[in-house]
Structure 1
Amino acid sequence: MKRITKSIASTTAALLCLAGCAGANKAALPAAPPQAQAVEVKDTVQLVNGVAITRAEVERATRVLLSQGGQPQQLPPQAMQQATQAALDQLTMAELLYQEAAKIEIKDLDQQVEKKVAESKALYPSPAAFEEALKGSGLTMEEMTRNARKTIAINTFIEQRFASKVQVSDADAQKFYQDNLEKYFTKPENARASHILVKTDAKMTPEEKQKAKDKAEALLKRVKGGEDFAAVAKAESGCPSATVGGDLGTFGRGQMVPPFEKAVFDLKPGEISGIVESQFGFHIIKLAEKHEAGKVSYDEAKGKIFEYLKAEKVRQAVTSFVDELKSKAKISRV
């Protein structure tokens, strides 16, 4: 089920983030607000109906694409060239969509932009931290505001022009479910557990390692004796999960190191393990819940299926629309 959720995210991600990086010079759009009027553009890479896409924007968009795909920021030359071209193609797509979006009226656009910028600032602990992050991204406040305006305009345009008109039938959803039952709608065996970790490393002397084990034994005695497991984990565990009482969340087989995994899946819900040694140290594990492998029912999955199929139809419609715009546009490399 997680896999189809990821597929939905990847299907729509380009449409939602394209606008944040596209062209700087908006003089070709008479309807654009004062913030987006003509500015001096240096290092232009491409013109889209007279609007510049700059080298800095392409580099920034390339970094975004690589981070989304989990790719390293430094690739072999040919692979980096392909990534750069993909970023430029997306920027061109975004610019064409923005030029169309600028033709529609969005009455509360200024208010939406202000809210979007305020939400971005609120993610940081202080104004200084926000300014530092903005500087690190290579953006000015003016560029960030302009990008927020473009993102909102494009998303509004896509919603009005395409998404609001897309229909997905129950028959379509059921067919997708049956066709992809094994691929997307199987639940692997999984468990949720907490642990307390007494860390060790390869540099420890035998005496130091024995001391760590003795500490783990003492902690085990405490939790077996009735002390609150989460409280002991918060106070004593050497794992970052200590902040949440040792809770590791839900995971399946193959996601943890073998000794830890075996201990988890041998436990019954509510049970606490003995001392389990791994390359990270000595663990004390408490199993919260365990679920056998099985199928996700259609009723459980249909919400995500409808979301995915709608996103696919929107993506196809937008892609066809942009291809049509490209055929009529004046696009030139500089």
Structure 2
Amino acid sequence: MATGLPAGWEVRHSNSKNLPYYFNPQTKESRWEPPQETDSETLKHYMGQYHTANLRQDGVAAQQSLDGKIRCAHLLVKHRDSRRPSSWREAQITRSKDDAMVIIRNHESRIKSGATSLGELATTESDCSSARKRGDLGFFGKGDMQKEFEEASFGLRPGEVSPVIQTASGLHLIER
């Protein structure tokens, strides 16, 4: 199946981070974000089919805090004013913040209506590399995340999804 990557590039898997990354064996360049000239739509389908983790639900264990830590998943929509306007889906993100808000509000309404889950949407629609893990960020404590993200996350009850949260990274929906 075509990856959508420019000639010479391939998808590899990082054992240390348990995430896919992009590698060019000729130049020895490796990167987390796709290289320029990537066909984002083709890459999105390739990654969804071959590099999306099928994570099991941990039930109660996933919802309990450990030493003041909580576990959350999120769906991130970046825009051109995000601090890093690129992602595994798009080498260069050019959408406006208003356009990103329209996209994330659509995702929010689909989740609230029960049409889909945050984890399902995150695998193909999130601009964070955690998309491969259904948006799962693992456990984190106070001071580990951007202030707005942390405040929203710690304010949620287990299983609850936040409204749209804005950070320097972009627009988020967070599920504790």
Q: What residue is the counterpart of 2:108 in the other structure?
A: 220
What residue identity is the alignment partner of 2:126?
Answer: S
The SS at the match of 2:157 is coil
The SS at the match of 1:269 is coil
TM superposition score normalised by structure 2:
0.54
What does residue range 98-177 of structure 1 map to in structure 2 within 5 Å?
none
Kindly state the Cα deviation for residue 208 of structure 1 after the two structures are TM-superposed: 1.4
Asked whether 1:280 is paired with 2:169, we answer yes
Q: What residue is the counterpart of 2:40 in the other structure?
A: none
Q: What residue is the counterpart of 1:197 in the other structure?
A: 76
The SS at the match of 2:70 is strand
Structure 2 CA distance for aligned equivalents of residues 201 and 274 of structure 1: 21
What residue identity is the alignment partner of 2:104?
Answer: A
TM superposition score normalised by structure 1:
0.29
Structure 1 CA distance for aligned equivalents of residues 118 and 167 of structure 2: 20
Q: What residue is the counterpart of 1:256 in the other structure?
A: 145
Structure 2 CA distance for aligned equivalents of residues 225 and 233 of structure 1: 16
Structure 2 CA distance for aligned equivalents of residues 245 and 218 of structure 1: 18
What residue identity is the alignment partner of 1:193?
Answer: C
Instruction: Check whether the contact 1:271–1:286 (CA below 8 A) recurs between aligned residues.
Output: yes
Kindly state the Cα deviation for residue 209 of structure 1 after the two structures are TM-superposed: 1.1
Instruction: Check whether the contact 2:74–2:172 (CA below 8 A) recurs between aligned residues.
Output: yes
Structure with max Cα Rg: 1
Structure 2 CA distance for aligned equivalents of residues 249 and 232 of structure 1: 18
Q: Deviations over 1:221-270 (max 9, x none)?
A: 11111112211000100000001100000000000000000000000000
In structure 2, the gaps of 5 or more residues are: 1-24, 29-65, 86-94
Structure 1 CA distance for aligned equivalents of residues 139 and 158 of structure 2: 13
CA pair 201-208 structure 1, distance change in 2 beyond 3 A: closer
Structure 1 CA distance for aligned equivalents of residues 146 and 164 of structure 2: 15
Cα-Cα RMSD? 2.1
What does residue range 17-56 of structure 1 map to in structure 2 within 5 Å?
none
What residue identity is the alignment partner of 1:232?
Answer: L
* Number of residue equivalences: 101
In structure 1, the gaps of 5 or more residues are: 1-128, 133-186, 288-334
The SS at the match of 1:202 is coil
Determine which structure has the larger helix proportion and give its number: 1
Determine which structure has the larger strand proportion and give its number: 2
Structure 2 CA distance for aligned equivalents of residues 276 and 285 of structure 1: 8
Q: What residue is the counterpart of 1:13 in the other structure?
A: none
Kindly state the Cα deviation for residue 200 of structure 1 after the two structures are TM-superposed: 2.1
Structure 1 CA distance for aligned equivalents of residues 155 and 117 of structure 2: 22
The SS at the match of 1:214 is helix
